[in-house]
Structure 1
Amino acid sequence: MNDVAHTDTSGLSHVFSAALARADQWRELNALARAWADQRAASEHGERYRTQCRTLLGRITRLEFCWAYPGTRLLSALDAALDAGDASAFARLVQRISSTLLSGDYRRDDQAWDLAGDGDGTLLDTAPPDVTGSAQRPYFEVLIVTPTDPSTWMRAGEEMRRLRRPDDPFQYATVHVGSFEDAALAAMVNSNIQSVILVDGFQYASRHQIPDLKAYLARHIQIDQSAAGPGALSTRLARGLRNFRPELDLFLLTDRSPELLAGSDDAAPVRRVFHHVEEPMELHLALLDGIKDRYETPYFDNLKKYATRPIGTFHALPIARGKSVFSSNWIRDMGTFYGTNILFAESSATTGGLDSLLEPTGNIKKMMEATARAFGAKRAYLGTNGTSTSNKIVVQAICKPGDIVVVDRNCHKSHHYGFVLGGAQPYYVEAFPLTQYSMYGAVPLRTIKQALLNCKAEGKLDRVKVIDMTNCTFDGHMYNPKRVMEECLAIKPDLVFLWDEAWFGFARFSPFHRRRTAMGAAAALSEKYRSEAYREQYKAWKAKHADVDDKELLETHCLPDPDKVRIRVYQTNSTHKSMSAFRQGSMMLVWDDDFHKVEGPFEEAFFAHTSTSPNLQLIASLDLARRQMELEGYALTIQMTDLALRLRKTINTHPLISKYFKVATPEDMIPAEFRQSGLTDYGPPNASWAETLEAWDEDEFALDPTRLTLVCGSAGFDGTQFKGMLAERFDIQINKTSRNSILVQTNINNTHSDAALLIKALADMSREIEARLSDGGESGQAQFASRVKSLMTDVPDLPNFSRFHDAFRDDAKGTSNEGHMRPAFFMAYDEDNCEFVRLNSDEIDRRLKDGPPMVSANFVIPYPPGFPIMVPGQVISDDTIAYMRKLDVKEIHGYHAAQGIKMLKPDVLANWSASATQ
């Protein structure tokens, strides 16, 4: 991102978020205005500051028509003070506007809209909301796209203002524009806009002179001026806005036959069609009703009502109503700490409006429907034991024993345990390695297709049921799900896809990230395959590849048959990881054309893994997380991404910090062969944002900018050590580490102050390293260099999955590597079937050389990096042992150094193999 002192929305192609750049510019103008006021107005310095203020205000006002506040009257007052040379008045007005924008007081206090700022009630032409006596009413803005003369807009705004009533649950202000381009720009930059009124007849081109406007709009909305017919621009804009910000309520006012238009496909994105403005109060009520639909939290609302009722509890939950706590002599502090509401809103009953998570018929059912709508799914289910359990539910629901699942070996352990429980056979495929950081990336599409073609060649393709991948990965590698699913469906048109988006739930609400999501891809492909244009495209592709063989299929961008293809997509997300939900809150999102075939098994799996006593507060938090993201997720995800981009640039360009620390770039994290665009890093001067988004659309993999791999090995710190230092010295909490890096995640909770805390910590440590190297002489410098070399250069190779032992394979000679992991897992339950061999013993080396093969009896998962380097039934290879011997982490699940590696005995395997073939 640009530095604050050089933020310039006159060049939109250089700006990630024009809204955040605008806030920076107002603060910059505030500083300049104060400097001008501090100088004598007629002095040389005073005139220079005045000129700078005029230039910057000109840049700011180019986009101010997109927001209701501060409005034209306050801006005119600023111009007047500037023209009159009244530095004091100009500085006061700028300070007031800047601080109001920062605090958001314009949402709550109508005095912020007064011209004089003294509460004289002077109303602005932007029709400020009525907030007197109701400061808690949520505020939003309504975009009105109209062909009427701008001179009438103030009167129109006042007419809408007069429709408002004291008991309205929400308050709004209006923003008027007169063209397609201005409307699209306003919807992009102004996150306060929640509703759009489209009045037929507006023009296409902007009324404003804004450099790079068309390029900025083209990032997210297809620009086409060839729309023909009356009202075509209205419906085209509606479709564009629906794709860009699907949460918006769209209303169409037309003098055409509204009855006919309302039933046409053109009106599909529109919430309601009105016959021009014949019913203004109905329009006002429709605006409020649209917000109410998103604001309503069925479960949370009922839980609040339940908590206020006088209830006698004769069920098995003593903590409910809090009597056992507040009357206690020993745990009364529990009630003091948690408060009364959390205890009054507890119950083990499913009556009284609370509904049942296992058999929802009331408010939980409504909540699930709202969740599906918000996340772009056909169905949604709620998880209360984290996405670990959600993954097991989905795996068990869509797989039966013997089904083959093509799966990333480095996916979360819950998937592997799901295969054990369900009896599915994993076909492990490898992600590309990032050896220098001791981590893996994601699985190349070619690798996935090769696995499918291997199964096809061996007559097993009918058994391949699922493609199971992690998107995005812990370290930020985003797949191109649309392309992956399209090419795999060309090989097997009924494949089911499970995308573990545990860390990526927020992405639905970011137009930048949405293109890389499972549900976004499912919707896009579903629409694509229903179109006549695709049928023609497929017909041409089929004619060109009529005699295509498997080798050519591997090298070709394949297209599926529209008459055979089924869109069957499941997405799990850890709502608590990226949204405002309590820990273990999760969601399962479904877009499955054949869900009727698995609805019964899905319910059974849901029953099997879901507690009959789910935490009510957790369910309510999922309801609230959905509400927040539908109403302000767009703003929050843009802000968190912008903050991450600023952190990246600040760290990597800081003259001192960058000597010892670095945030890995897309070029560092994704090999060139998977970055067909050649994108190396985000933002100018590396690439324009239009080029960046084009890369996100086309490249095989992209890197989520909100996940920052901060390399600390060059500072002499391993990841675990550095994580501890940040926590102990600077109160900075980090989740994941690698051998020489930590993962810094920005989310909707982070602020600029958080970013400043991290930068200050890195700067302080960099200064300490400088001082230590200066004082340590050649010996100290050599020791430091040796430490850095051991962390950054002498890194262990990453082991790939070897193979399942022949005892657990149906065809030991086949090229596909699927295996029966379930019997291997349960064989280890009998200790007589197992042996332990110390990692550094000669026995390990002898058996690697001469045999018999060593076969893992359980999962072995080092943290970090957190992927299983051994699974039950896997033959242990040289590179796995070499990797384990070089590991310097303390936490390895499934391995105890005092015992050694747990293996299945060779004679047990021989007997199993013999009995299995009889």
Structure 2
Amino acid sequence: MTEYKHSLGMLALLVSSPPDKRTVFGRALDQLVHDVEGRGVSVLASESLTDAASILRSDPAVQCVLIRWEMDTSEGHADCIKLLVKLRERNTRVPVFLISDRTTASSIPLLVMQHADDFIWLPEDTSRFLSGRILAAIERYRQAALPPMFGALVKFARTYEYSWHTPGHAGGTAFLKSTAGRAFYEFFGENLLRSDLSISVGELGSLLDHSGPIGQGERYAAKVFGAHRTYYVTNGSSMSNRVILMASVTRNQIALCDRNCHKSAEHAMTLSGAIPTYLVPTRNRYGIIGPILPQTLSAEGVKAAIANNPLVKKGIDPTPVHAIVTNSTYDGLTYNVTRVEDLLGESVDRLHFDEAWYGYARFNPLYTGRHAMHGNPADHDKSKPTVFATQSTHKLLAALSQASMIHVRDGRNPIEHARFNESYMMHASTSPNYAIMASCDVSSAMMEAPSGQILTSESIEEAISFRQVLSRMHSEMLSKDNWFFTCWQPPTVQVGAATVPFHEVDPVTLKTDPNCWVLHPNAVWHGFGDIEEGYCMLDPIKVSVLSPGMGDDGNLLASGIPACVVTAYLGRQGIVVEKTTDFTILFLFSIGITKGKWGTLLNALLDFKRDYDDNAELELCLPDLYNAHQQRYAGMGLKDLADEIFAAMKKHKTTANMSQAFGTLPQAEFSPVEAYEKLVRNDIELVTLDQAAGRLAATGIVPYPPGIPLLMPGENAGPADGPLLAYLKALEAFDKSFPGFTHDTHGIEVEDGVYRMLVLK
């Protein structure tokens, strides 16, 4: 057998006991392997069905499976049948050959014949002929496996044509003319550079007019993701949101906007000249942003919001033309989208779901009805709103950074392609990155049935396993009057008539029953009060780990462990988290997460507990922090640090101030575009927080986390002792006291620890 190497080369898996060269059959099988390898196909041998199952589950590079029928001695060939069934659940296309002789043909069950693609009768046919059939099957599979745009890109890159067009590195050769360039070439590799092409390459079509293989790829993605139309985007969902808003809304038209919006929505409002009317979501004691309640989305709620919007002045049509809602939220809360469509459909013709963190939802039944492109696109009711979805394909699917897609389902008042594409071209580059487009293509192929459900199910399973282990450890520690971390999730689950602790629930139930994750009214754990039954669900793969310190009543406990200290400790151990608030740490269980990764995380949390309980010296457990700020943290242990930060959080009321600040909708005096026009004219000045009372923000003020606007351009910062400035002052005071734990607030400039912000003159 040839040595197997991971590459784009051809690979066949032979499931057989070693051929006995003393027999005719054994010699024929050995010759077949030799001839297959002679055609450039690597052959990986597996001597048991169990081992073969492991290979097929873990290595998608296998492009052909050869199974010797007689090696299965189980009753009724049950083991072989099980292998084939499991294989077809994951991959319906990979060619499977059964190797046998004519004497056993009549004993092969119908189910096996349905799952196999071809049969090899040894030694009747020549090995040369049979190896040719295997090669042909592999080549057909390879052609079908690559999605349209990526397949065309691979084919073009292999033609080795001379380049007389941009980019100037000409397939990478220009980089070879300097030391730094050669290092760049060797780091990224020839294929990436050869596929970095110009829009002049007609064979690949154009992203701007959606033609050729690029257009084919977008149509393929539309089929996979359940859209009427799909657009590849190479500058992230930030561009996607701007494209949609600018195609749908123009100056002085009203757009309903989730206040829990990405800053790209703010930019889109500025670019389009729209008048935003904000839909304010709920928030719980941890500062986790909840859903916008149904009464806010109802026709009456929308009318009230517009009536109370000071930007809707005389002469402006009060009818909203567009609505944007974040689904799922950063922390993993997902809407019943059908319900949202019915509610907002009474007010607007176009609904826009920002699903940047949620591109996988269509591919698992757990999320049925909770994503924009739900159900069959052919069944979309044309009398209902046109629906847009933006997805950051790179965030939780397999794609390169900045890869994004726009999905469209046409309903009422649609924006036909020609008009929509004008907005698209306004934001797209004439020199798009072909590797990013190809990764969108590949992401679609990976999620096409049946693999999409398998991949998402594996992510859900890993997240549930982690949640249950952490929940069990917390329960055991609690029974011994000890502390440990837990997850933000229901502590118990109703299974039939029984109420079962979360860590004791059958994982299959948690994986398949959405009711386990639905936010039921007035449940203490979620903290969103009397929420409508079935309206909102927690996505299991977005795991918020809770550190001790917050009481169920929203008041801080006598002692606690700020999450920022835990995050710093994890970072020292090479674990980078997604988001940290006062008492929550967010981890994303994407399709790239394995048991090894979350096992390492659990061990790190246990290590933190040990070092915290022992008050280990910061010099040992947080050496980077200690060395950078030795004078501030000299002589302190890990528990000392946590206690001091917790005391400061109590003093400055950071958690309470955050809830009050984000629960307050500031007074808007200028629209975002009007404020931006003043910024361009330099009608602005930089002031301290003490000087900001009553002033209008010139830019968005966006604390991270949670990453949503505290102040939008043109909004009033309020009184000096009001909730908005009180929160910013609390962050400022905290940052001065704890170097190394400063907050990241977009729109705030920090100089010598003093917060400053741009305001309109």
State the AA in 2 paired with 1:800.
F
2:674 to 813, 820, 823: 823
Following superposition, the deviation at residue 114 of structure 1 comes to 5.5
Residue 367 (str. 1) matches residue 208 (str. 2): no
CA distance 1:881–1:351, change in 2 (3 Å): same
Residue 104 (str. 1) matches residue 56 (str. 2): yes
1:854 corresponds to which residue? 695
CA contact (8 A) 2:350 2:413 kept: no
Moved more, 354-363 or 790-799: 790-799
CA contact (8 A) 2:701 2:709 kept: yes
Alignment size in residue pairs: 612
Following superposition, the deviation at residue 358 of structure 1 comes to 0.2
2:662 corresponds to which residue? 800
Residue 601 (str. 1) matches residue 419 (str. 2): yes
1:624 to 438, 442, 452: 442
Following superposition, the deviation at residue 306 of structure 1 comes to 1.3
Residue 684 (str. 1) matches residue 636 (str. 2): no
Residues 466-524 of structure 1: CA distance to partner in whole angstroms, max 9, x if unpaired? 221110011101111111111222x33x5211100000001111111242111106859
SS of the counterpart of 1:466?
A: strand
Q: State the identity %.
A: 24
Residue 900 (str. 1) matches residue 718 (str. 2): no
Moved more, 379-388 or 681-690: 681-690
Residue 453 (str. 1) matches residue 303 (str. 2): yes
CA distance 1:665–1:384, change in 2 (3 Å): same
C-alpha distance in 1 between matches for 2:447 and 2:188:
26
C-alpha distance in 1 between matches for 2:79 and 2:181:
56
Residues 508-550 of structure 1: CA distance to partner in whole angstroms, max 9, x if unpaired? 11111242111106859x46x6xxxxxxxxxxxxxxxxxxxxx
1:513 to 364, 367, 370: 367
Residue 471 (str. 1) matches residue 327 (str. 2): yes
1:641 corresponds to which residue? 460
2:547 corresponds to which residue? 712
Residues 4-58 of structure 1: CA distance to partner in whole angstroms, max 9, x if unpaired? xxxxxxxxxxxxxxxxxxxxxxxxxxxxxxxxxxxxxxxxxxxxxxxxxxxxxxx
Following superposition, the deviation at residue 761 of structure 1 comes to 0.8
Structure 2 gaps of 5+ residues are 1-13, 16-46, 85-90, 98-105, 120-129, 493-497, 520-532, 550-558, 619-636, 735-741
Following superposition, the deviation at residue 292 of structure 1 comes to 8.5
C-alpha distance in 1 between matches for 2:503 and 2:340:
24
CA distance 1:826–1:384, change in 2 (3 Å): same
1:767 corresponds to which residue? 610
State the AA in 1 paired with 2:487.
V
Following superposition, the deviation at residue 825 of structure 1 comes to 2.2
C-alpha distance in 2 between matches for 1:457 and 1:678:
46
C-alpha distance in 2 between matches for 1:679 and 1:879:
41
CA distance 1:823–1:154, change in 2 (3 Å): same
2:154 corresponds to which residue? 304
CA distance 1:691–1:307, change in 2 (3 Å): closer
1:881 corresponds to which residue? 725
SS of the counterpart of 1:405?
A: strand
Residue 417 (str. 1) matches residue 267 (str. 2): yes
CA contact (8 A) 1:802 1:876 kept: no
Residues 288-324 of structure 1: CA distance to partner in whole angstroms, max 9, x if unpaired? 99x8897341111111111122322222312232211
Moved more, 379-388 or 628-637: 628-637
1:64 corresponds to which residue? none
CA contact (8 A) 2:562 2:645 kept: no
C-alpha distance in 1 between matches for 2:508 and 2:218:
41
1:660 to 467, 484, 495: 484
Following superposition, the deviation at residue 103 of structure 1 comes to 3.0
State the AA in 2 paired with 1:701.
C
C-alpha distance in 1 between matches for 2:158 and 2:640:
68
2:710 corresponds to which residue? 869
1:22 corresponds to which residue? none
1:295 to 145, 149, 160: 145
1:41 corresponds to which residue? none
C-alpha distance in 1 between matches for 2:65 and 2:668:
76
2:190 corresponds to which residue? 340
Following superposition, the deviation at residue 861 of structure 1 comes to 0.9
RMSD of equivalent CA atoms: 4.2
CA distance 1:294–1:389, change in 2 (3 Å): farther
CA distance 1:137–1:873, change in 2 (3 Å): closer
CA contact (8 A) 1:387 1:586 kept: yes
C-alpha distance in 2 between matches for 1:124 and 1:630:
27
Residues 544-566 of structure 1: CA distance to partner in whole angstroms, max 9, x if unpaired? xxxxxxxxxxxxxxxxxxxx932
CA contact (8 A) 2:704 2:745 kept: yes
C-alpha distance in 1 between matches for 2:615 and 2:302:
56
Residue 426 (str. 1) matches residue 276 (str. 2): yes
Following superposition, the deviation at residue 759 of structure 1 comes to 1.0
CA contact (8 A) 2:702 2:710 kept: yes
CA contact (8 A) 1:406 1:451 kept: no
CA contact (8 A) 1:409 1:801 kept: no
State the AA in 2 paired with 1:750.
I
CA distance 1:295–1:743, change in 2 (3 Å): same
SS of the counterpart of 2:223?
A: helix
- With normalisation by structure 1, the TM-score equals 0.60
C-alpha distance in 1 between matches for 2:501 and 2:724:
32
CA distance 1:168–1:472, change in 2 (3 Å): farther
SS of the counterpart of 1:406?
A: strand
C-alpha distance in 1 between matches for 2:579 and 2:210:
37
CA contact (8 A) 1:666 1:681 kept: yes
State the AA in 2 paired with 1:441.
G
State the AA in 1 paired with 2:681.
D
CA contact (8 A) 2:277 2:305 kept: no
C-alpha distance in 2 between matches for 1:303 and 1:588:
22
CA contact (8 A) 2:64 2:96 kept: no
CA distance 1:466–1:327, change in 2 (3 Å): same
Following superposition, the deviation at residue 770 of structure 1 comes to 2.5
C-alpha distance in 1 between matches for 2:419 and 2:114:
56
C-alpha distance in 2 between matches for 1:575 and 1:783:
39
Structure 1 gaps of 5+ residues are 1-68, 71-94, 130-135, 143-150, 173-287, 530-563, 669-676, 809-819, 848-852, 906-918
C-alpha distance in 2 between matches for 1:394 and 1:103:
44
C-alpha distance in 2 between matches for 1:162 and 1:617:
34
Residue 441 (str. 1) matches residue 301 (str. 2): no
Residues 803-840 of structure 1: CA distance to partner in whole angstroms, max 9, x if unpaired? 565743xxxxxxxxxxx221022212333x3344322x
State the AA in 2 paired with 1:404.
I
C-alpha distance in 2 between matches for 1:426 and 1:472:
21
CA distance 1:152–1:592, change in 2 (3 Å): farther
1:699 corresponds to which residue? 534
CA distance 1:597–1:708, change in 2 (3 Å): closer
CA contact (8 A) 2:254 2:318 kept: no
CA distance 1:339–1:836, change in 2 (3 Å): closer
Alignment of 1:208-607 (within 5 A): 295-434=145-284, 436-449=285-298, 450-454=300-304, 463-489=319-345, 491-492=346-347, 495-520=349-374, 523=377, 526=379, 565-594=383-412, 597-607=415-425
Following superposition, the deviation at residue 873 of structure 1 comes to 1.3
Greater helix proportion: 1
C-alpha distance in 2 between matches for 1:610 and 1:427:
28
SS of the counterpart of 1:754?
A: helix
SS of the counterpart of 1:635?
A: helix
CA contact (8 A) 1:895 1:901 kept: yes
C-alpha distance in 2 between matches for 1:634 and 1:575:
16
C-alpha distance in 1 between matches for 2:235 and 2:286:
31
